[in-house]
Structure 1
Amino acid sequence: MSADDATASLRQAVAPIDERLQGLDWYPVAKKEFADTIRSRALVILSVIFAVLFVVPPIVAFYTDFGSARSVSAVLIAGRLRIMSVVVPIAAIALGYAAVSGERESGSMKLLLSLPYERLDVVIGKFVGRSAVLLVPLLGALLLQYAVVIPELASAEANVQAESLLAFIALTMLLGVVFVGAAVGISAGTSTTRRSLAVIGGLWIYFFALWNSAARGTGSLLREYTDVESLTTIKAELVVKLLNPTQAYQTLVQSLSGNAEHAARAQMFGGLRSQVVAQELQGSVPFYLSDGAAVAVLLFWMLAPLYLGYQVFERSDL
């Protein structure tokens, strides 16, 4: 089958879905966003980056003399977790920070709003369209990675490892959508791309480099100025850590990869202290430190910037 035949077959397969979605006011905006990004080659660039990050390491680890690790979880989850916490948000920010502010700056937003679209349609459409641009190459690379390690999944722990890998794929995609939502929301709430990039870029730097200091500071203040028990101090630090979406992602992956909730939360401290924290938690965590709470944190960082950005955008003069 030629490339043209494959493209025609794909279009024919998605045509019924496309027709149904046409009834949604924001869908034409999302469809245009996706098409424009493809023409800009962003999809190709992201596909190459994700393929290198996801596919090359397991090939080296499992099928060359340079590889030393033979655990699927070690290579694909533990080994990639921190990298994905950095690369996926950066890719999402790059896709989303100019989604609305770029068109406001260029003046094309006035033309877009002269069509039968509400401002809410624009924000939702751009969020969905840019999310699709991120998720298509990300999912493709993750599935290709899965195909590469299929022979390694034939071990006695195959079921556990396969479930862990699927959890990693789903949560990594969710992390990407979260940061697209944050970037598009901030873009909607700012009038220039420079301001949008400064806000979302500064927020990501704070998440990555400074948030843990705030968590440690919270624990230090409680120890110094109150008489609370050690366990209360630990829980307070964990709450602050969990409010960081990248750390919520990491601890969720650890939890859904086979670790108990208390052990996954304890690993947020790292080093020897994680063992002490796990013992202090005594095999359980309160609801505000549960997996459900971590998912709620991720959803908050996706939806809150979108809502606040839309509110500012709705009241702004173009």
Structure 2
Amino acid sequence: MTSHIPTVARKEFDDAGRSKLLWALIGLLVGLVTIGYVAIWYTVDDVTAAEVLSFLGTPLQVILPIAALIAGYMAVVGERRSGSIKLLLGLPPNRTDIVFGKLLGRTAVVGVAVGLAFLVSLVLGAAFFGDVPFVDWLGFAAVSLLFGTTFVGLAVGVSAGVATRGKSMALVVGLYMVFVALWELLTAGPYYLLYDEEVPVEPETWYLVLDQFNPIFAYTNLASSIVEGSLIPFQFQYGLQSMEAYGLTPAERHPGDAPFYLQDWFGVVVLLVWFAVPVAIGYYRFENADL
């Protein structure tokens, strides 16, 4: 049977590309990268392109998830809401083509955002700070693309699994707030209650395993292992763990040799889980939904 995923993906890329809000966020991302590089060049002496590269992690971890969620949260449920899903299913694409075509098309939009940000960093880095460490730059770009793709998968999975725009928006906004605003309360809070103390720099292993499953943490851990300097996760802090722990990876906080599931590369697994599980659940629900 012929797959129509590429056809749906091309249509989705065009449709998502018409979103003024999405392009405003992409423009903001590129603008912040430009302003940041110019400001660092103007104010800081004796800095290398490799050191400046880590600056990208800040605007990327803040803007990229929001852009990805906006790109994906209406992907499928928008068709159900308007009634066009029945017309679309009357054409050659089937439900599988729709879900994965939309996923591919919306991912391509986020890929454009990542590509533009890193292209600007490459040009400005070479112009202001000398040779750019291309291997580090390429690895950082690949990790950032995976990070953006993770949030697209999360949003498209939610969109496929619910029947209304309101539910889709509530779920993606709620999950984003969990990652950014509530994660420390949900992880360090129980630790504080169990041990009657703030989370130390070297906590129990179960805490490190749980804590690293925040996709934003996984991204900053991976990026910190690639670029010079460490990236601080964008997260609300409530003082439930030692201030010395902020910015350290799980491997750095584990006493002795860290097991494989606490090493930096395991962040790839975390991001893939957050991508694959919502897509699988959303696809299953959409495949069995009465439209």
TM range, smaller chain: 0.7 to 0.9
Check conservation: 2:160, 2:285, Cα contact below 8 A.
yes
1:157-172, aligned counterparts within 5 Å?
159=133, 162-172=134-144
| 1:59 match | 38
| 1:301 match | 274
| 1:106 match | 82
Query: Residues 120-162 of structure 1, C-alpha deviation per residue, up to 9 Å, x if partnerless?
Result: 111100000011111113202211211111145547xx64xx4
Check conservation: 1:248, 1:295, Cα contact below 8 A.
yes
How far is 1:118 from its partner?
1.8
**Which structure is larger by alpha-carbon Rg, 1 or 2?**
1
Distance 1:287 1:222, change over 3 A: farther
How far is 1:212 from its partner?
1.7
Q: Is residue 148 of structure 2 the alignment partner of residue 188 of structure 1?
A: no
| 1:18 match | none
Measured on the aligned residues, the alpha-carbon RMSD in Å equals: 3.1
Distance 1:101 1:183, change over 3 A: same
| 1:15 match | none
How far is 1:34 from its partner?
1.0
Distance 1:217 1:149, change over 3 A: same
Task: Find 1:115's aligned residue among 74, 79, 91.
Answer: 91
1:43-192, aligned counterparts within 5 Å?
44-62=23-41, 64=42, 66=43, 70-77=47-54, 79-152=55-128, 154=130, 159=133, 162-192=134-164
Aligned length: 280
Q: Which runs of 5+ in 2 are unaligned?
A: 236-240
Check conservation: 2:201, 2:244, Cα contact below 8 A.
no
* Equivalent residue letter for 1:70: V
Distance 1:294 1:86, change over 3 A: same
Residues in 2 aligned to 1:39 and 1:58: alpha-carbon distance in whole angstroms: 29
* Equivalent residue letter for 1:192: T
How far is 1:74 from its partner?
4.7
How far is 1:238 from its partner?
1.5
The residue matched to 1:175 in structure 2 has which SS? Answer: helix
How far is 1:61 from its partner?
1.5
Q: Is residue 287 of structure 2 the alignment partner of residue 317 of structure 1?
A: no
Give the TM-score normalised by the residue count of structure 1.
0.77
The residue matched to 2:225 in structure 1 has which SS? Answer: helix
Task: Return the structure number with greater helix share.
Answer: 1
Residues in 2 aligned to 1:34 and 1:194: alpha-carbon distance in whole angstroms: 23
* Equivalent residue letter for 2:195: R
Q: Which runs of 5+ in 1 are unaligned?
A: 1-22
Check conservation: 1:255, 1:264, Cα contact below 8 A.
no
Distance 1:50 1:291, change over 3 A: same
| 2:238 match | none
How far is 1:217 from its partner?
2.5
